[in-house]
Structure 1
Amino acid sequence: MKPIIEYTDFRKFMRDYYEERKRCSAFSWREFSKIAGFSSPSYMKVVCDGKSKLSRIGVERTGAAMGLAGFEMDYFRAMVKFGQAEVEAKKVAAYEEMLSIAKMYKVRVLEGDLFEFYDTWRNPVLRELAPLMPGATPGELAKMCYPEVSAQEVHESLAFLTKAGLLKKSEGKLVQSETSVKGSNDATRLAMRGMHRMMSQLATPALELPVEERNFSGVTMGLSRESYSKIENLLDEFRRKIIAVAAEEKNVEQVYRLNLQLFPLTKNVKERENEND
């Protein structure tokens, strides 16, 4: 079983612990629940299935039942807070606590670097820009960015990108280690929300650029859930085609950002009618 520090989903950690114990002995959900001090014989399974939450006392009992102590127990507490938080700010705080614990004990949280990658717009922009300007100083790279950025901020982003392996040095210049960066777990999706906010804010001043350099369009329309799903699928297909075009480009000249946004401007009228029935 992987070390706890490599998990970000406490339910996945609990299930893996259960499967490991079951593989080596006649361990059952009933026994797991009993050891943790719960009267319901299936409580641990219900939690792992996402149908119930762990209370503060439940967290302590469950951690003790799995033999956690020291920083591992601290990490488990933070991981539960992260998994059960409904407010984004609390979710971010819990994940940062997990990263802090990992850093303190010189271990790495899986995808922690990816979480940090999405923490600022500078990282994805400089990951694209730096390979286009071999040998450029942080100051020279900073001058090429439309959003105002300092040479020190560029230096910090380049240091992070190199440390995380998202950029690497080859023949004296920086190149990308992979052609694309993707996030899949809850922590990365959470960080991407912040990235979407930042990129949306950067779109406003871009309206002042020459029309030959930017393309803005939009439509306000009425939709049903069925038509929304159809448009969502079309947007996904369109995005994949755009990525394919960009991946084939061998003569990159400039770094662009494409935002695809489809969001409600009103509440659901049908739901309101049902409430009034």
Structure 2
Amino acid sequence: MKSVSKISVLMYFDYREYLRDVLEAFRCSDKAFSMRALQESLGVCGSAFFARILDGARPLSLENAEILAASFKLNDLDSEYFKALVQFGNEKNVDRRETLLRKLISVRSHNKEYALKDSALGFFSKWYIPVLRDLLPLLPAGESFAKIGRMFTPGLKASQVETAIKYLKDNEFVSVDADGKFVVKDSLISTPPRVRSMVLRKYHLKNLEIDREVYDSFAADERSVSSVTCSLSLESFEKVRLEIHNFRERILAIAREEKNPSIVCHLGLQLLPRAKGGRK
């Protein structure tokens, strides 16, 4: 079988998308290519083998992934990535999936192009990095790292601020203008939804932890905390989710229209089932 080196597996975080593109490339480049011949080389039966994998009806086993990697003539690095990609796609446990995601990113780091893309994921690696990005434009030029750290609740070390600012500059989330002031740049973090959700999971959990830690640090008029417990159908649950989304967009619109900001706030919105029962 021909090599598929022109289609880099390192581009993908979903093995089904990779297989779909590879099979399509084979069809376009090799008139003699047939799914039956490929399946025979894998030692699998059934004309719907790939169809069932691609539509999510069945997973690709690690054993078949190893055979495919050899059939596709993947080099050692790409083969390692492909097998980890299959494990990542099949894994149900959230913690093990996070470990596999770190492995994928580690393998991708051997390629400079992907290493640069993945470095942007670090934006959510620390709770204070998004806060710092919004804070920096509010500060005068030349503010010390130590002083900036004292503006946070809880406070940050000067070294944490210095490292975070370097990260924001290196990844073009902020820049410095001619007057030495920081300017926010509209950098986008473009990642597949599943990868983004994995990265955001720990970020959200850490923010919940920080909120609990600093709750008593603010007077009643410096915070707004409320909650509601209610019974919903699945249909109403989705309506509430939409309301939360629309509310979030309105908050962002208010922030965009702000002409004289002086504080950076974190607004957390959670909607979670606490009990299930009765009719759905």
TM-score of the alignment, normalized to the shorter chain, above 0.5:
yes
Q: Tell me the matched-pair count.
A: 271
Change (3 A) 1:66 1:181: closer
Q: Tell me how far apart the structure 1 counterparts of residues 40 and 184 of structure 2 sit (CA, whole Å).
A: 51
Q: Tell me how far apart the structure 1 counterparts of residues 193 and 37 of structure 2 sit (CA, whole Å).
A: 30
Residue 244 of structure 2 is aligned to residue 235 of structure 1? yes
Q: Tell me how far apart the structure 2 counterparts of residues 226 and 217 of structure 1 sit (CA, whole Å).
A: 24
Contact 1:10/1:76 (CA < 8 Å) preserved in 2? yes
**Residue 193 of structure 1 is aligned with which of 175, 179, 201?**
201
Contact 1:32/1:44 (CA < 8 Å) preserved in 2? no
After superposition, residues 177-256 of structure 1 pair within 5 angstroms as 177-178=185-186, 184-208=192-216, 209-256=218-265
Contact 1:131/1:176 (CA < 8 Å) preserved in 2? yes
Q: Tell me how far apart the structure 2 counterparts of residues 88 and 51 of structure 1 sit (CA, whole Å).
A: 21
Q: What stretches of structure 2 of length at least 5 have no aligned partner?
A: 1-5
Q: What stretches of structure 1 of length at least 5 have no aligned partner?
A: 272-277
How far did 1:212 drift?
2.3
Q: Tell me how far apart the structure 2 counterparts of residues 114 and 31 of structure 1 sit (CA, whole Å).
A: 41
Q: Tell me how far apart the structure 2 counterparts of residues 250 and 121 of structure 1 sit (CA, whole Å).
A: 25
Contact 1:4/1:13 (CA < 8 Å) preserved in 2? yes
What's the TM-score once normalised by structure 2's chain length? 0.88
Number of the residue aligned with 1:146:
153
Contact 1:6/1:110 (CA < 8 Å) preserved in 2? no
Number of the residue aligned with 1:274:
none
Q: Tell me how far apart the structure 2 counterparts of residues 139 and 36 of structure 1 sit (CA, whole Å).
A: 60
What's the TM-score once normalised by structure 1's chain length? 0.89
How far did 1:102 drift?
2.0
Question: What RMSD, in angstroms, separates the aligned Cα atoms of the two structures?
Answer: 2.2
How far did 1:184 drift?
4.4
Q: Tell me how far apart the structure 2 counterparts of residues 71 and 162 of structure 1 sit (CA, whole Å).
A: 30
Deviations 1:74-103 (A, max 9, x none): 111121122111111111111111121122
Change (3 A) 1:18 1:109: farther
Percent identity at matched positions? 27
Q: Tell me how far apart the structure 2 counterparts of residues 21 and 15 of structure 1 sit (CA, whole Å).
A: 10
Q: Tell me how far apart the structure 1 counterparts of residues 190 and 10 of structure 2 sit (CA, whole Å).
A: 21
After superposition, residues 59-70 of structure 1 pair within 5 angstroms as 59-70=65-76
Contact 2:173/2:187 (CA < 8 Å) preserved in 1? no
Contact 2:125/2:203 (CA < 8 Å) preserved in 1? yes
Number of the residue aligned with 1:275:
none
Contact 1:179/1:247 (CA < 8 Å) preserved in 2? no
